[in-house]
Structure 1
Amino acid sequence: MTPAPLLPPVPFAPSGLSGRAKRFVEVDGIRVPGQELRRHRDAWLRQGIPAAEIDRAAAFQDRWGGLALPPAPFYEGGPRVLDADCPEGSADGGWSFSAGSCRVSMAYGFMIGPDGAFGIDAHRWTPLHECIDGWVESLALAAHAGRWARTVTRIRGRAVESVDLDGYEPVPEVRGLTDTWWRGEDSLVALYRGEAVGLDAPQCLEAQVYGGLDEWGLRGG
């Protein structure tokens, strides 16, 4: 009798996430083997990489390494698998490391910056969220809103600047920087500015408006 194939393990959501993001990680994510960074520690130290930066990348790997989540609605889906790598120094003395490989060939990569922000490294470093947790929260919110909204409207280019957010409040759990989420009376608005800023390409601005949401659809965790 042929044994059943082994399935990737169901991931356990890291602490500190909202209930909505916790469900998203554990229901929609899978965990695949991630690389062990600490085995490179001595070699990286010899290359002049500070011990604190190696420890920072290793801590990211312990918490998020090997987690594969469904594609994001922008940024060509985001990282395929969250996975740290060797820290890289920049001209200003800061250190960053990869947050995971791209799903397709792209003009930028996904990085964790010197202050822990998650962002894209394009023509310039562009932080999207204060931390990787904020990125995961944004993915969970997009999946939740898309499931419960009666309408989804996409606005592109300079027209995004005319989106009226009067009466809306920022969604704090996504910890938005260049990208933000906003909650209104019966709708959610996601503003994706990262490519426009990082690539000097205003045509890449995008807003997604999720309308017709009830209280559960607006919050859901």
Structure 2
Amino acid sequence: MQPVIDSAERLTRRGEWFVSAQCVRVESPSLEKLRGQWLEFGIPATQVARVLDFQRRWGGLVLPPSVDYEGGPKMLWGDMLAEESKRVGWFEAGIQRVSMAYDFLIGPAGEFGIDTGRWVPLHASIEGWIESVALAHHASTWAQQLSTIRGDAIDDLPPRDFEPVPEVRGLADMWWRGPDSLIAIHTGEAVGFDQPRLRVARVYGGLRGGSQ
């Protein structure tokens, strides 16, 4: 499979504010010195370029913990995978907060997802993940009610008058927007472990100032 070079997508104003106000960027060494070594190992030049580009753009960004996925990656950091079969197309996206049963990866088309032994893309890009965490921060700050729904009970979501939130670029995970509410539906762990009971939705209701 020929990997696709990740596009430089822009964050929304909310996403940019979240990165500047709620995240910390720590100094991270350049991976350029590893370029020659990776090429000697037979890793395609396009794959090497993708990892180096990710590290230049996002390396060292420390994110606040997400509600799900054990807090998500603590710090974004691009690196090659040791597993030979996944060196082309996938690479590491960040450092975990705790010991976990899966890794956070960037996929062949730039998707952000988890690998439980089974690859599950959560968002179509790393920007989508950042927008999702930023939206959760916004929703939890302004919502007057928060409900958590699990398992088969989420089959009735979202209501008909809700629309998808495009900036999160949702795949296994998605956000939906209603008149004064937001709904986050997370199915990544359920798909990765083949456990439908792990599906979870969070409904943020009564958002002051609307759901924007």
TM-score (ref. length: structure 1): 0.88
Once superposed, which parts of structure 1, at least 4 consecutive aligned residues long, lie more than 4 Å away? 87-94
Using the TM superposition, give the Cα deviation of residue 158 of structure 1 relative to its aligned residue in structure 2, in angstroms: 1.8
Indicate the residue corresponding to 1:56 in structure 2: 50
**Are the aligned partners of 1:181 and 1:190 in contact in 2 as well (CA < 8 Å)?**
yes
The reply on whether 1:184 has 2:178 as its aligned counterpart is yes
Indicate the residue corresponding to 2:4 in structure 1: none
Using the TM superposition, give the Cα deviation of residue 89 of structure 1 relative to its aligned residue in structure 2, in angstroms: 6.6
**Whole-Å Cα distance in 2 between the matches of residues 34 and 83 of structure 1?**
9
1:101 partner letter: I
**Whole-Å Cα distance in 1 between the matches of residues 149 and 31 of structure 2?**
41
**Whole-Å Cα distance in 1 between the matches of residues 140 and 29 of structure 2?**
33
1:174 partner letter: V
The reply on whether 1:218 has 2:204 as its aligned counterpart is no
**Are the aligned partners of 2:158 and 2:183 in contact in 1 as well (CA < 8 Å)?**
no
Query: Equivalent residue of 2:78, what SS?
Result: coil
Percent identity of equivalent pairs = 50
1:187 partner letter: S
The reply on whether 1:206 has 2:175 as its aligned counterpart is no
Using the TM superposition, give the Cα deviation of residue 157 of structure 1 relative to its aligned residue in structure 2, in angstroms: 1.7
Query: Equivalent residue of 2:74, what SS?
Result: coil
2:139 partner letter: A
**Whole-Å Cα distance in 1 between the matches of residues 84 and 123 of structure 2?**
20
**Are the aligned partners of 2:74 and 2:94 in contact in 1 as well (CA < 8 Å)?**
yes
The reply on whether 1:162 has 2:156 as its aligned counterpart is yes
Counterpart of 2:32 (choices 38, 51, 56) is: 38
TM-score (ref. length: structure 2): 0.91
Note closer, same or farther for the CA distance 1:66–1:194 as it changes in structure 2 (3 Å cut): same
> Which protein shows a greater Rg?
1
**Whole-Å Cα distance in 2 between the matches of residues 164 and 54 of structure 1?**
40
Using the TM superposition, give the Cα deviation of residue 35 of structure 1 relative to its aligned residue in structure 2, in angstroms: 3.1
**Are the aligned partners of 2:179 and 2:210 in contact in 1 as well (CA < 8 Å)?**
no
The reply on whether 1:149 has 2:139 as its aligned counterpart is no
Paired residues, number:
205
The reply on whether 1:193 has 2:194 as its aligned counterpart is no
Using the TM superposition, give the Cα deviation of residue 48 of structure 1 relative to its aligned residue in structure 2, in angstroms: 0.6
Query: Equivalent residue of 2:91, what SS?
Result: strand
CA shift digits 1:85-142 (9 cap, x unpaired):
1256764884211001111111100000011000001131000000000000001000
Task: Note the residue ranges of structure 1 that are not aligned, 5 or more in a row.
Answer: 1-13
**Are the aligned partners of 1:49 and 1:87 in contact in 2 as well (CA < 8 Å)?**
no
Using the TM superposition, give the Cα deviation of residue 42 of structure 1 relative to its aligned residue in structure 2, in angstroms: 0.8
**Whole-Å Cα distance in 1 between the matches of residues 86 and 71 of structure 2?**
30
CA shift digits 1:67-98 (9 cap, x unpaired):
00100010000001000012567648842110
RMSD: 1.7
Query: Equivalent residue of 1:83, what SS?
Result: strand
**Whole-Å Cα distance in 1 between the matches of residues 135 and 195 of structure 2?**
26
**Whole-Å Cα distance in 1 between the matches of residues 122 and 9 of structure 2?**
21
Indicate the residue corresponding to 1:135 in structure 2: 129
CA shift digits 1:152-190 (9 cap, x unpaired):
101112212232421110000000011000001111000
**Whole-Å Cα distance in 1 between the matches of residues 9 and 20 of structure 2?**
12
2:182 partner letter: L
Task: Note the residue ranges of structure 2 that are not aligned, 5 or more in a row.
Answer: 1-7
